[in-house]
Structure formats: structure tokens, C-alpha cells
Chains A and B, each alone.
Chain A
Amino acid sequence: MPGPQPVEETKVTAVPVHPAAPLVRASGGEVPDRVFKAAMTACGLAVLAVLVLIVYELISGSRLSWHAFGFKFFAASDWDPVNEHFGALPFIYGTLVSSLLALTIAVPLAVGVAVFTTEMCPKALRGPLSFFVELLAAIPSVIYGLWAVFVLVPLLSHYVQPFLQRTLGWTTLFDGPPFGYSMLAAGIILAIMIIPIISSITREVLMVVPQHQREAVLALGATRWEMIRIGVLRNARAGILGGIILGLGRALGETMAVTMVIGNNPQIAKSLFAPGYSMASVLANEFSEATGDVYISALIEIGLALFIVTIIVNALAQLLVWTVTRGQPARGNA
């Protein structure tokens, strides 16, 4: 332990500590100290500069498209590179629908896992279980995509889609041929990818709910589930919502896995079996092959819109999580 040693040595020179310190520093450390502080400040400022630069590049790059289409860019649904007519609506629709579908699937599962790990499971299982769930977060997006193409998509088209059509066909949400590549596939793979985020944040939020809340509810004669519902979940609502929104932020910007299974067809279809297209996927597919300044500019404008939306969503989430965990010693009282 390096702790005690320096302390002992200060005791040796204990008497002159305060008068001597400035003297020594004035002779030996003043200029290097300033250089050091300046260098570290420069590193910090670089973080600011990078964000400013990204914003500047996105805005200046999309100017051409903004002048050509204005607000109609976000309301028009034709995407015609040959005649240079660009409307982003199908991509916005695809991003929103696939992300919301992912949330619908992921939220109950993620919250369930978090509740199980914090409130129900034996202590010995707790560590390995959360480790495994967080392992999901370490898998690169392209590998999720690879798995989805070779396992999920065939599974959907052979078994799940025909089944859904037989049982829930009347909703017209599942019309059309069961190809596999579809909004549904994108939603499912996104759900698998955002579960770790939502569940790890929910777990953190549940852990800062004070223990005496649980004890108080139990003392009133509640069952374990009633204790979780009244004493834990109700207290953690805002934080869980923050985790969900953070998951949404991730889903909105997710690129590779979605691009590989969504079908890449710029259309607005009601059926979840129909192929769609998302904002991130159109960038991935068309950016390096785009010819013509307006085409590139329209793509950069999609990037700018994605940037703005994800920043708003993330800031909202941070705020919510912060209001819950603020001032509480996290993980301290579990």
C-alpha cells in the first residue's frame, strides 16, 4: 500500500510544510506546472472542438439540400437519385417504427431481468447473470447482423411469419409475403441489442431505492411482488424511463445490424412484414456510392437530422436518470 509511506515522510519535514511548499514550487515547478495545465486543458478543449467540428461539417455539408428542398425534405416520400428528388420521410418512418417495435419487445424483458437480478435471484447468481446480460453489449453490431441474416431471418420466414399470419392476420399488420427481411426482423434484432442497456440502467436505478422502502412495505404485510410493485418500481419510475429512452437513443442510431435485415426499400408500408429502410441504413448503403452534390448533401442532411434527434433523446434520458440517482450513494445500500 503506497498510502502510509509518503505520510510518514511528510512527518519528517512536518514543521516547514506550509511555508516551504510555495517556495519550492516557485523555484522548481511554476513553469512546467503551467505548461502541464495548458496541455491538459487543450485535451479537454479538443473534446469541445470535435463536437463543434462535427456540427459544422454536418450543417455546411447539408446546406445544398436544405436550399433545394427546405422543410419539404422531411415530408416528401420520393427518393429518386436519378432526377435528384429527395424526401426523407420513408427513412424517418423506418427508423421510428423499427425503434418503437424494438422498445415494445425489449422494455418488458429488460425490466423483468433487472427486477429478477436485484429483488429475486439468489446472491450467488446475481453477478454471473448481469455479466452475461452485459456480454450482449460487447458483441459488435455487424456480428448481430451476421447472425440475424443466417439464423433470425430464415427462422422468421419459415416459422414465425406464417404463424403470425395465421393467428393475427386480421390485424393487417402482418400482410404480404413472408420474406424474412422486414421491419419485424429489424425490430427484433434491435430489441436484442438494446436489452443490455435498458436492463443495466434499470438495475442501477432499482439499487438506489432505499432498503427501508422495501422493509416498510413488507412490514405492512405485502407479498414480494406487491413490495416490488409498490415499494420499488413506483419509486424508480423516472429512472427506468430514462433507461428506456437511452435504449431508444441507441436503437435510433444503430446501423449495421438493421441495414443487413430491414430489406432496404424506401417505402412506407403498414405491414411489419414489408421491407423498409432506416436513416442510418440509407447512409450506410448509399453514401460512398452517391454521385452528385445534391445527392451527397441530402444524405448528410439525413445524418444531421439523426444527430439532432439522438442528442435530444440522450439529453432527456441523462436528465431523468440523473434526477433519480442524484445525491444518492449508488450501489451503497443494496
Chain B
Amino acid sequence: MPETVATAALHSVPPISWSRRVTDHVMTGVAVLTVLLVLAPLIAIFGYLVYRGIGSINWAFLTQMPKPVGESGGGMANAIVGSALILGVASLIGVPFGVGAGIYLAEFGRNNLGRAIRFTADVLNGVPSIVIGVAAYALLVLHRHFSALAGGVALAIMMVPTISRTTEEMLLLVPQALREAAYGLGVPRWRTTLSITLRTATSGVITGVMLAFARVAGETAPLLFTTLGNTFWNLHIDQATAALPLQIYVYANSPYDDWHRQAWAGAFVLIVLIVTAVAAVRYAVRRGTFGAA
């Protein structure tokens, strides 16, 4: 009986008119078109980057210093090392503060202070990187001098919001029963948080850290007037330092073909570094959690 009722209902539905059907097809076509229009520049950018990058990169680029203006050849060895130095400083400052703030938000932050910190982290996340550069300049450069430290601090400020919010989210995913089990065994709260909760959430926390790292690794604007750039070697954190993104920017704006070639090589190295850093840690974390389980 119910079947016949259903069929009757179906028959009573008026057929969909020609114009509505055409509109439906047209809109589907429009949606497909938007996808193609969005994918086109992505493919163009990646394709061109790989094409120019592979064509431009060579051993000298990775191991030699920049040559003086007008001479061709040379490389960006000092900028690669400088970037590593700045990112090292940024991670040393940003990761502990970010994870600590995340722990606070997840474990102690269900109050007004927690809400204020959460809101502040979201606000900081939206502050343009160049403005953070200006603040770092006023704070660390104005009365002293350009340094890798100032650039590292600027990048650390950009890392903290991402790290703290993802750490909080990951810690909150850890089942409450695990914490209670540890308390039940008489484990103090700090120990529970560090060896049970944080441990369980490690892979998620590291993913957050890597996202933050990948985001700041290519940042140029906050370094323009904090680390300034340098055509020589520098390994001191209180001196002006070359950085890969800065060098790409300077070389892209230069009138020399050889510097353009090196800018592409630098961009290629930067993308490869970012992608491999993220992929390697993801892989290691995945293996680590499987090993533990």
C-alpha cells in the first residue's frame, strides 16, 4: 500500500520546466568554471616555480656567497644559514611560549583570563606581519641595531597564536578519563599534564608547530627592518643577517638577469624547505604514534 501512495505522489509532482533545468545546468557549469579559474593560477605558479627553480639551481648557489653587483655567479649560502638562524631563534622563543599558553588555555583557562587570552591570540593572528615588524623595530632595533634576534622575535610573535590555539584544541581532545585515571593513581597535576595529556596530544601539537613554522619560514615583511639583510656571513644573533626571503625580494627587484635566476632558485629552495619540513615531521609523528600504540 505505501508504495502506491508514494508513486501517486511522484506522479503528481509537476515536471521541472525547461528554463529551470537549463539554469541548473548553467550554474553547475559556472561552478566548474570557477574551480578551473582558481586552479589555473595555482598550477601556473607551481609549474613556473619548479621550471625556473630547477633550471636555476646549482651547487654554487647552495654553497657560495653572493658576488658583487654586476658579476655573475655566486649563491645564497649565507642567506640559507641566516634563515636557519632566524627561524631557530623564532622557534626557541615561540614554541615554548605557544605550547605553554595552549596548556594554560586547555587546563586552567575556563575563566575570564582564559577568554581574554584566547581573544588576544585571535587578534594577534590577524595583525599584518609588517605591523609586527614595525613593533619589533621600535622595541629591539630603534635604540640598538639591526639583528637576527629582532627578526626572530618578530617571527616568534607570529608563531605563538597558531601554536597556542592548536595546542589547546589538541589537549581538549584528550579524553577526560585519562586525566582522571592519572589523578586516581596519585599523579600530581603537572605530571599528568606533561606526561599524560601533552604526551597523548603530541602529534597534534607538533602539527600545529609545523603549521606555524611553515607560515613564518617564508615571511619577508617582518624581517625588512629587523634583520635588514647582509651580503656577508653572520652567525651572531645580535648582528644584521641575510635571510632567504629577503634575498629573493632584493634580487627580484634588481635589473640583473643573473639575480633574477637566483631569486627563482631561492624561491625553489624556500618552497622545498617548507614542504619537506612539514612532510618530514608529519611522517615522523605518524610513525611515532604507531610505534607507541
Contacts and interface: CB of A to CB of B under 8 A. Distances in A.
A187 to B, nearest CB: 14
B186 interface: yes
A76 interface: no
B127 A53 contact: no
B264 A48 contact: no
Interface in B248-268: 248-249, 252-253, 260, 263-264, 267
A216 interface: no
A2 B177 CA distance: 11
B101 A47 contact: yes
B37 to A, nearest CB: 6
B267 A54 contact: no
A280 B178 contact: no
B285 interface: no
A274 to B, nearest CB: 20
Interface size class of A (residues with CB under 8 A): 35 or more
A9 B188 contact: no
A19 B114 CA distance: 31
Contacts of A144: 45
Contacts of B253: 149, 260
Interface stretch (A158-166, A167-175, A220-228, A236-244): A220-228
Contact of B109 (A44, A256, A260): A44
Given A112-B31, A145-B252, A132 B42 contact: yes
Contacts of B121: 47
Interface string A275-314: 0000010011001100000000001100100110011011
A129 B43 CA distance: 13
A117 to B, nearest CB: 8
Contacts of A192: 41, 45
Of the candidates A6, A195, A199, the one having the most CB atoms from chain B within 10 angstroms of its own CB is A6
A306 to B, nearest CB: 6
B218 A113 contact: no
B128 A133 contact: no
Contacts of A13: 184-185
Contact of B38 (A53, A110, A256): A110
8 closest A-B pairs by beta carbon, nearest first, are A140-B218, A253-B128, A29-B188, A43-B100, A112-B34, A36-B190, A24-B186, A314-B126
Interface of A: 1-3, 6-7, 9-10, 13, 17, 20-21, 24-25, 28-29, 32-33, 35-37, 39-48, 50-51, 53-54, 57-58, 60-61, 108-113, 115-116, 120, 129, 132-133, 135-136, 138-147, 149-151, 192, 195, 199, 221, 223-226, 228, 249, 252-256, 260, 280, 283-284, 287-288, 299-300, 303, 306-307, 310-311, 313-315, 318
Given A40-B104, A112-B34, 17 more contacts: A28-B188, A36-B193, A41-B104, A54-B135, A61-B138, A113-B34, A120-B28, A140-B245, A140-B271, A143-B267, A146-B263, A151-B48, A224-B28, A260-B253, A303-B131, A306-B128, A307-B131
